[in-house]
């Protein structure tokens, strides 16, 4: 019996050690990601519509030349919880794009102006064309990037993140990547066609040139036109693109929790009332 208990305790220790070592190793290999103050953070957070509009402007004027947004439709920009564009603004925006449609009655594909129900078209006809235009690198689609690129913080932080409902590691990483371009330190060799970046998840260099610089995009609302502000705005926009129903999810979650608390209280007092005259 003692031998069995010893083996069980040793097995639990090994499992606990792996649970601690695994995230720790992952955190050591991954870049350090600083938490940023997002308006949508926390259980009651909401998107800043003005920031989402600025982020969309950065995407449209800078990122869209290489990166697609294939899972987002133009009409999504006017939906509740999003950037808050009007229906007329969405129609005008969609009409700026040419959409391949068809086939027509003769079996031929044709180009037409975009409609609100269309999704954002890819900047390239296919993957081969995209690689040919980017020195062999394939620019990924950004529709889900804020959820797909999330750096875990390792033990014990991930336990605290669960308790605090920290879910912003995706936009935190994107912000760190966009602001992580620096001159390579002495002794670090950067391959030709690569750029040194301290925030990149897969190494210290990547093929994407620094996309942002000060005064690159002209804001009309008086916000700072700096690399830092551009990175924050487009990261927030990509978070919305990846989770457009975030605000609705939080509202429903809060309502469900309130209902469960009330229901549990009613059950408790009902039980007390029913069994109050019964000897235990």
pLDDT of 240 higher than 90: yes
- What is the distance between the alpha carbons of residues 154 and 20, in angstroms, rounded to a whole number? 8
DSSP per-residue string spanning 32-69: P------TT-STT----HHHHHHHHHHHHHTGGGT---
- CA nearest 147: which of 61, 65, 220, 249? 249
Within 210-245, residue ranges assigned H as helices are 227-242
β-pair partners for 113: 98
Residue 151's pLDDT is what? 74
Contact predicate 174/236, CB 8 Å: no
Computed over every residue of the chain, the mean pLDDT equals 87
Contact predicate 36/175, CB 8 Å: yes
Q: How many CB atoms lie within 10 A of CB 256?
A: 10
- CA nearest 230: which of 49, 20, 104, 62? 62
Instruction: Specify the residue for token string 């955190």.
Output: 27
pLDDT of 197 higher than 70: yes
| CA atoms within 13 Å, Cβ hemisphere of 184 | 14
**Cα R_g (the chain), whole angstroms:** 25
Residue 280's pLDDT is what? 65
Residue 14's pLDDT is what? 34
Q: How many CB atoms lie within 10 A of CB 87?
A: 11
Phi, psi of 6 (to 5 degrees): -65, -45
pLDDT of 93 higher than 70: yes
User: What SS3 state is found at 162?
Assistant: helix
Residue 30's pLDDT is what? 61
∠ CA 255-256-262 to the nearest 5 degrees?
Answer: 90
* Residue range 36-88, pLDDT digits in tens: 999 999 888 999 999 999 999 999 999 999 999 999 999 999 999 999 999 99
User: What SS3 state is found at 144?
Assistant: coil
CA distances from 258 to 5, 255, 264, 265, 266 (A): 43, 5, 10, 11, 12
Percent of the residues in the chain that have a pLDDT greater than 70, as a whole number = 88
């Amino acid at each position: 019996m003692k031998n069995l208990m010893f083996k069980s305790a040793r097995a639990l220790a090994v499992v606990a050690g792996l649970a601690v070592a695994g995230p720790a190793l992952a955190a050591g290999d991954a870049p350090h990601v600083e938490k940023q103050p997002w308006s949508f953070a926390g259980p009651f957070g909401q998107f800043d519509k003005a920031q989402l509009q600025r982020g969309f402007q950065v995407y449209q004027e800078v990122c869209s030349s290489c990166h697609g947004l294939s899972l987002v439709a133009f009409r999504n920009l006017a939906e509740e919880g999003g950037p808050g564009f009007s229906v007329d603004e969405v129609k005008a925006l969609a009409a700026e794009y040419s959409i391949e449609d068809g086939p027509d009655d003769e079996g031929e594909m044709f180009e037409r102006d975009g409609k609100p129900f269309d999704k954002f078209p890819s900047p390239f006809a296919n993957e081969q064309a995209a690689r040919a235009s980017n020195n062999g690198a394939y620019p990924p689609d950004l529709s889900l990037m804020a959820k797909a690129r999330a750096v875990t913080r390792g033990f014990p932080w991930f336990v605290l993140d669960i308790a605090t409902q920290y879910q912003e590691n995706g936009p935190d990483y994107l912000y760190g990547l966009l602001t992580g371009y620096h001159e390579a330190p002495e002794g670090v060799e950067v391959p030709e066609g690569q750029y040194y970046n301290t925030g990149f998840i897969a190494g210290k260099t990547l093929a994407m040139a620094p996309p942002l610089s000060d005064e690159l995009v002209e804001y009309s609302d008086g916000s700072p036109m700096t690399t830092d502000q551009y990175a924050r705005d487009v990261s927030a926009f990509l978070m919305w693109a990846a989770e457009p129903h975030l605000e609705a999810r939080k509202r429903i979650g809060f309502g469900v929790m309130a209902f469960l608390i009330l229901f549990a209280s009613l059950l408790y007092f009902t039980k007390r009332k029913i069994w109050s005259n019964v000897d235990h």
